[in-house]
Structure 1
Amino acid sequence: MESAEDRIWTVPNALSFLRLLGVPVFLWLVLGPEADGWAIALLMLAGFSDWLDGKLARAWNQTSRLGRLIDPLADRLYILATLVGLVLREAIPWWLAVLVVARDVVMVPLLLVLKEYGYGPLPVHFLGKAATANLMYAFPLLFLASHVGWYSEPAAIFGWAFAIWGTGLYWWAGVLYAVQARVLIRDARAERERPREQDSERR
């Protein structure tokens, strides 16, 4: 019998899959026909679905291993695609994109070490979700700010507020993940060393 953790076809997972499918669509809208209205609407929908799939997973007891994998993957791909699109359209400065992406680059070695000790990706922290939510609010607002209109100035103010908070929380969550990873790696190393110490004592 399939356990709840092994389920694939759940509503939260379906929302995450749809969010993944939206990544290339967003890039095409931004870089192809430059259909900015549709691109902004898609970003807003992605941000809402990111909140909704977590809410439904907890409320309906539909958390799963696959969901814990594809949900953060969809978040990161959306953030990366959005950064690429907005930088190429000159809607945001390149240094903001570098600052956000650098956190994930820093985390890669930790994930590789964790994998070596038999651990999968770390559970998504609340701060990580809050950071992603802030960034997903920031991007469409900064996109609006790059256009000429009455909404440009307020969009820029709120967009940069969300971007600053989101980037700060993104790095703060990274620090917490690093601390958690360090504890797991230390305990795993101690567990590996224990049989060797016992063997040496027997000799």
Structure 2
Amino acid sequence: MPPSEPADQVPVPPPVSGRALNVPNAISIVRLTCLPLFLWLLFGRDNRAAAAGLLGALGATDWIDGYIARRWRQVTELGKVLDPVADRLLFFVGAVAILVDGSVPLWFAVAVLAREALVAGATLTLAALGARRIDVTWVGKAGTFGLMVAFPMFLASASTVSWRDVAEVLAYVAGIPGLVLSWYSAATYVPIARAALADGRAARHARIGSDP
């Protein structure tokens, strides 16, 4: 009988695959290629309902590529970059496009985009300073989910669908908590970022000290 593992053993992360072209990465690429279609539906065809449906579907598939990569051990270095880039780009482009269209309240869009710009700037700064990678917290994920529901609903509420009044209510029901959680998560990242920066510097100094 094999010995039991300690209860507090740290889980082993999925191995990194050397194959860049796999199912999770293909899903991320497909999601990115849908961006021009979304913009065409919204501005080229002036079809807010179809654009809202597509954006909602893209938001709903936010977790699929990452889940498949972990579940079937198809994690790649490309996927580690492609997945979050696709998520943030879809979110940012969608939010800006709906703001330009005038389907979302100005104060709401500005509050969301200001937070995105703040986090993006902090992320780039930390990376330049050598901080270790920071994982997204469940609060941040919950906030993003609420916002990904809110923006398509705002767009649908400005369309000709019969349930546009319901869509507007759903937009606020999902959007207000999502906005609060997203800003709260940004605040909670401050001590996490400090620790990540300290860890990154310590690791760099350790590497320098180990060099012959």
TM-score, normalized by the shorter chain, greater than 0.5 = yes
Aligned to 2:29: 17
Aligned to 2:93: 81
- Letter aligned with residue 41 of structure 2: L
Alignment of 1:58 with 2:82, yes or no, is no
Alignment of 1:159 with 2:168, yes or no, is no
SS in structure 2 opposite 1:111? helix
Aligned to 2:186: 174
CA distance in 2, matches of 1:31, 1:136: 20
CA distance in 2, matches of 1:114, 1:6: 27
Aligned to 2:136: 124
TM-score (norm. length: structure 2): 0.78
Give structure 1 stretches of 5+ with no counterpart.
195-203
Alignment of 1:102 with 2:114, yes or no, is yes
Aligned residues: 193
Contact 1:12 1:62 in 2 (8 A): yes
Aligned to 2:11: none
2:157 to 135, 145, 148: 145
**Most deviating of 171-180 and 154-163:** 171-180
Post-superposition offset of 1:109 = 4.0
CA spacing shift, 1:182–1:14, aligned 2, 3 Å: same
2:145 to 129, 133, 139: 133
Give structure 2 stretches of 5+ with no counterpart.
1-14, 207-212
CA distance in 2, matches of 1:185, 1:79: 27
Contact 1:145 1:153 in 2 (8 A): yes
SS in structure 1 opposite 2:62? helix
- 1:78-129 CA-to-partner distances (Å, cap 9, x unmatched) read 1221122212221101221211111122224432332233346533333333
TM-score (norm. length: structure 1): 0.81
Q: Which is richer in helix?
A: 1
Cα RMSD for the two superposed structures: 2.6
- 1:150-203 CA-to-partner distances (Å, cap 9, x unmatched) read 412211111111111222222233233332211122344567789xxxxxxxxx
CA spacing shift, 1:62–1:189, aligned 2, 3 Å: closer
CA spacing shift, 1:65–1:128, aligned 2, 3 Å: farther
SS in structure 1 opposite 2:130? coil
2:41 to 25, 29, 42: 29
Alignment of 1:114 with 2:131, yes or no, is no
CA spacing shift, 1:80–1:145, aligned 2, 3 Å: same
Aligned to 1:200: none
Post-superposition offset of 1:10 = 2.0
- Letter aligned with residue 118 of structure 1: G
SS in structure 1 opposite 2:73? coil
